[in-house]
Amino acid sequence: MPIDTRAIARILHLMLNQPTCYLAPNAAARLKSHREYGVYAIAPIVRDELIAMFGGEVVTQETFETLNERLRRLSLQIQENLFLVALNEGPADYVNHSCEPNSGLLGQIELVALRDISVGEEITFDYAMSDGSDYDEFECECGAPNCRKRVTGRDWRIPELWKKYAGHFSPYLERRIEKLKREQAS
C-alpha cells in the first residue's frame, strides 16, 4: 500500500498545532491583567449553550505530580485518579474561577452557560465543580459578594454549593457528594 504522505502531514500538523480544547465562536480569550488571561463573551450566549469542551492527555495522578506548575494549573481533574492535561493549550484552557459563576460543567469536560451571558462578560465557572484535590489552590480575586476568598480542592464539600450547582459537578464529585450525604443521614 502506498504511503499517504499528505494524510500523515495533516495528522502531524493537527497533533502539533491544534489546541486540545474547543471554545465556541461566541467566546474568546484575552489578557485580563499583565499576565493572566480570561475568556469573554464576544457575542450573546444563551442559557444551556455549549461554551467550551476541555481536552488533553489523560494522565494518572502519579504522572500528573511530575508535571511542571504551568501544565498543572491548566489541567482538569476528571476522575479520582485521572487528570486532563492540555499539552497543546488553547483559549478554553483560560477560563477562570468565580464564586458566582455564569457557566458550569456538564459531565467531565463540557462547559455550558448557567444563564444568558452578555457581550463583554467574563466566562467563569466554580472550580468546586471539578476539583477534588489540592492541585490548583489560590487566593480568589473574583470580587463576588459571596467570594470564598480561598479556592481549595475541598470546596466541593460545601453543602450550599450542592443545591446551587446541582447537575453541574463532575460525575466523580457527584458520586462523592451522594456518598457524603448518605453518611451524614445515617
User: Rule CB under 6 A: which residues touch ligand SAM?
Assistant: 36-37, 73-74, 93-94, 96-98, 136, 138, 140-142
3-state secondary structure of 161: helix
Nearest to ligand SAM of 2, 143 (CB atom): 143
Dihedral sign for Cα atoms in the order 141, 109, 29, 42: negative
CB of 9 to ligand SAM, least distance (A): 31
Is 86 among the residues that bind Zn ion (CB under 5 A)? no
> Which one among 27, 52, 78, 142 touches Zn ion, defined by CB under 5 A?
142
Measured distance CA(50)–CA(60) in Å, rounded: 27
CB of 170 to Zn ion, least distance (A): 19
CB of 88 to Zn ion, least distance (A): 29
* 78 φ, ψ (degrees, to nearest 5): -120, -10
Location of C-alpha cell 463540557:
110
Residue 114: name its binding partner from Zn ion, ligand SAM, none (Cβ under 5 to 8 Å by kind). Answer: none
Measured distance CA(5)–CA(3) in Å, rounded: 6
Contacts of 131 (CB under 8 A, 6+ apart): 77, 151, 152, 153, 155, 156
Is 140 among the residues that bind Zn ion (CB under 5 A)? yes
CB of 184 to ligand SAM, least distance (A): 29
CA 156 vs. chain centroid, Å, equals: 14
Residue 94: name its binding partner from Zn ion, ligand SAM, none (Cβ under 5 to 8 Å by kind). Answer: ligand SAM
CB of 150 to Zn ion, least distance (A): 9
Nearest to Zn ion of 82, 147 (CB atom): 147
3-state secondary structure of 111: strand
Q: Are 103 and 112 in contact (CB under 8 A)?
A: yes
Q: What is the CA radius of gyration of the chain?
A: 18
Nearest to Zn ion of 86, 140 (CB atom): 140
Query: Rule CB under 5 A: which residues touch Zn ion?
Result: 99, 140, 142, 147
